Chain A
Amino acid sequence: METYTLIVLLLAATIRVATPLLLAAIAGMFSERSGIIDLGLEGKMLGAAFAAASVSAVTGSAWLGLGAGILTAVALALLIGFACITHRGNQVVAGMAVTIMVSGLGPTLGLAWFNLGGQTPQLDGPGQRFTELAWPWAEQARALPFPGLLYAELLGGHNLIVYLAAALVPFSAWVLYRTRFGLRLRAVGENPHAVDTAGISVNALRYQAVAISGVLCGVAGTYLSTAASAGFVRDMTAGKGYLALAALIFGKWRPWPTLGACLLFAFTDALATRLQGVALPIVGVIPVQFILALPYVLTVLLLAGFVGKAVAPKAIGVPYAKEK
């Protein structure tokens, strides 16, 4: 019984931790499938987190915060696009530049606007955050361990963005494999010359892909600052953008395997949180340091041994120039 409760709580935590990773990974998928390396994930998320928290703090509306987060991330994405698509700049450098710029710009603007040392004010008021949605009869259902607890903790009890992220996986799979846009997107990442020959603008497609990546990063950043916590603090993405990129490669640039990778990373993270100080059979209490390293050890092992060859889109990282 105790174990069952623990497992349900562990899975619920996995879902919460996986949400921003998944959003960012799918964002990266759209961009990379079109041939643009997305190292700016971290920066776009961070910028969105800051914008969302600031706007929500000032206006008192989490929805306006979400709007601001998306706008900011799209603006940053278009900046990367402008450098990489229009001017055919190096994509890795552009992405890193945006990330570094935002990690300095956010706290600086925060300091100027709120005078709280680069943080935004605590989001406390009603409607300033995306809070957990209580499903109907969740409290009553909790009394029944099975399937009540599953219903209350695992299915219900998350905020709106979590459900949005969950719905995104089948939707993006449909877009990518079942629509004309998806076909063109995949083609432009594999062989842009062929797409161009067919009379479709490579640049326009890539700009669209980059903008979609911006929208999703905006949602991910908003989740971090207005749902998972209550306000922006410096560098609050804490490497999640890079982890999402790893999950994307791990998932071979495909929506469902990427979901699996995100859930795995999140699960090891949630497990690490819960294994601390718990005495396990046979081995006893494991040192904290080992537990904290566990997700990364697992990642390396899995990437090295079990995934097989991850083949990137062929034209990734190569700026497209029409033959002269």
Chain B
Amino acid sequence: MISPRRSLALLILSGAVRLAAAADFQPAIVYDFGGKNDRSFNQSASEGAERFKKDTGIAFREFEVTNAAQREQAMAQLARRGATIIVAVGFTQASAVEKVAKEFPAVKFTIIDAVVDLPNVQSVNFREQESSFLCGMAAAMASKTGKVGFVGGMDIPLIRKFALGYTEGAKYVNPAVEVFQNMTGTTPAAWGDPTKGAELAKSQIGRGADVIFHAAGNTGGGVMQAAKDAGKLSIGCDSNQDYLHPGSVLTSAVKRVDVAVYKAFTDEKNGTWKPGPVVLGLAEDGVGYSLDEYNRKVITPEMEARLNQARANIISGKIKVSEYKAQ
């Protein structure tokens, strides 16, 4: 039981905090498991935030979630400390965003890879199946054995989306191609187990795969290492990972989480941020495949031409890529 006088003081205090919050713009970001240096999904988000800081000189607050209980606390804490916009990276944050967004209706939230239907939440999703399709094409074109692999992180619809797009892309090039699919696990720990990733990759290589695509965060590091050790090709995910093992990484299914983060911060700063769903695909340059000096040698001009053709066809709607729907 709080005494009336104390509650009044609290009210004034929280009012003061609200005022201070409204007065200046303060961005914040909450990363998911794997951490901001996972060289993949979270790192991409972190790069967007860092770029915003460099361009505007405005510092941002950040938090790396290391256990599930921290999400809500971290977000509420950031909101209480006066963050005006909080970007939540990753689908696992959805329930925390839903709860905290209701609690702090004045704070704006952008969630990536999930949909939260609230008046102060923007939900950014990507059409990963489109970039996965292109990577599947690249894999099938580069494969000599006609067998390609896919290693997913946690077994969730999002990762199935990658797998389905990849399979369709590979079959588009070579209908007889064999695609091996493995998931690392069914808990968030599956994002951070490179030893298991390497083991899965080795098992696929043992069955004849010579190109392996991972959508597994940190676990993917093990996949790419195993592919390199065996002299095979791998395909990176989310961030451009071509530089990790030059010549052994065929390409990366780039997901521009950095652009989404950067845009959320900038829009909020300029007052143009809008709640509701945002979907980014090839047409919006939200996803794509990477081509740089590190993988120039493994992507032949013919492959490049075919990939760009397919890219244009997907954008125009000539090629339809199915989206995985959870039953």
Binding stretch for chain A, among B91-99, B188-196, B250-258, B307-315: B188-196
Instruction: Indicate if the CB atoms of B192 and A235 lie closer than 8 Å.
Output: yes
How many of B's residues come within 8 Å of A, CB to CB? Answer: 33
Q: Is the pair B185, A118 in contact by a Cβ cutoff of 8 Å?
A: no
Contact B225 A230 (CB under 8 A): yes
A270 CA to B195 CA in the complex, in Å?
12
The answer to the question of B268 belonging to the interface, with a C-beta cut-off of 8 Å to chain A, is: no
Say yes or no for A86: interface residue by CB 8 A criterion: no
Please tell me if A122 contacts chain B, counting CB pairs below 8 Å. yes
Question: Once the chains are docked, how many angstroms separate the CA of A16 from the CA of B196?
Answer: 11
Using a CB-CB cutoff of 8 Å, which residues 35-90 of chain B contact chain A?
35-38, 64, 66
Which residues of chain A are near B199, meaning CB under 8 Å? 13, 16-17, 270, 273
Residues of A within 8 A of B221 (CB): 122, 229-231, 233
A131 cross-chain contacts in B, Cβ below 8 A: 229
Cβ B193 vs Cβ A289 within 8 A: no
Residues of B contacting A12 in the complex (Cβ-Cβ under 8 angstroms): 206
Chain A contacts with B in 273-324, Cβ cutoff 8 A: 273-274, 276-277, 288-289, 292
Q: How far is the CB of A138 from chain B (nearest CB, A)?
A: 14
Residues of A within 8 A of B198 (CB): 228-229
Do B195 and A236 have beta carbons less than 8 Å apart?
yes
| B203 & A9 in contact (Cβ 8 Å cutoff) | yes
B207 within 8 A of A: yes
Residue B186 CB within 8 A of the other chain = yes
Smallest beta-carbon distance A289→chain B, Å? 5
A288 touching B155 by the CB < 8 A rule? yes
A145 at interface, CB cutoff 8 A: no
**Could you tell me the distance between the alpha carbons of A10 and B258 in the complex, rounded to whole angstroms?**
40
Does B200 sit at the interface, judged by CB under 8 A?
Answer: yes
User: Which of B181, B207, B222 contacts A6 (CB under 8 A)?
Assistant: B207
* Contact A274/B37 with A229-B194, A238-B189, A288-B183 known, Cβ cut-off 8 Å: no
Q: Give A289 to B35 CA distance when docked, in angstroms.
A: 25
State whether the Cβ of A132 lies closer than 8 Å to any Cβ in chain B.
Answer: yes
Which residues of B have CB within 8 Å of A277?
A: 180-182
The answer to whether B195 touches A117 (Cβ under 8 A) is no
Q: Which residues of B contact A122 (CB under 8 A)?
A: 221, 225, 244
Set of chain A residues within 8 Å of B229, measured between Cβ atoms: 131-132
B218 close to A (CB within 8 Å): yes
Contact among A118, A119, A238 for B195, CB-based, below 8 A: A238
A117 contacts B203, CB within 8 Å?
no
Least CB distance from B199 to A in Å reads 6
Q: Which residues of B contact A142 (CB under 8 A)?
A: none
* Residue B202 lies at the interface, judged by CB distance under 8 Å to chain A: yes
Q: Which residue of A lies closest to B42 (CB)?
A: A117
Q: Name which residue of chain A comes closest to B194, CB basis.
A: A229
Residues of B within 8 A of A124 (CB): 245
Knowing A122-B244, A236-B195, the reply to whether A229 touches B222 (Cβ < 8 A) is: yes
CB closest residue in chain A, given B35: A117
Chain B proximity of A297: nearest CB distance (Å): 14
Q: Contact check, A233 vs B180: say whether CB atoms are below 8 A apart.
A: no
Query: Would you give the 0/1 interface string for B223-247, flagging 1 where the beta carbon is closer than 8 Å to chain A?
Result: 0010001000000000000001100
> Interface code A1-14, partner B: CB below 8 Å = 1, 0 otherwise?
00001100100110
* Cβ–Cβ contact A289 & B218, under 8 A: no
User: Which residues in chain A, 22-68, are within 8 Å of chain B measured between CB atoms?
Assistant: none
A273 touches B195 (CB 8 A): no
CB-defined interface of A240-284 with B at 8 Å, one 1/0 digit per residue? 000000000000000000000000000000100110110000000
Q: Is the CB of B203 within 8 A of A288?
A: no
- A110 — nearest CB in chain B belongs to which residue? B37
Instruction: Give B residues with C-beta under 8 Å from A.
Output: 35-38, 64, 66, 155, 180-183, 185-186, 189, 192-196, 198-200, 202-203, 206-207, 218, 221-222, 225, 229, 244-245
Extra 10 A-B pairs, beta carbons < 8 Å, given A13-B202, A132-B229, A238-B196: A16-B202, A17-B199, A116-B37, A228-B198, A229-B225, A230-B194, A233-B218, A276-B181, A276-B183, A277-B181
Closest 8 CB pairs of A and B: A117-B37, A9-B206, A229-B194, A117-B35, A230-B225, A116-B37, A228-B195, A277-B181
Q: What are 27 A-B pairs with beta-carbon distances under 8 A?
A: A5-B206, A12-B206, A13-B206, A16-B202, A117-B37, A118-B35, A224-B195, A228-B195, A229-B222, A230-B222, A231-B194, A233-B218, A234-B66, A234-B192, A236-B193, A236-B195, A238-B189, A238-B193, A238-B196, A273-B199, A273-B200, A273-B203, A277-B180, A288-B186, A289-B155, A289-B186, A292-B186
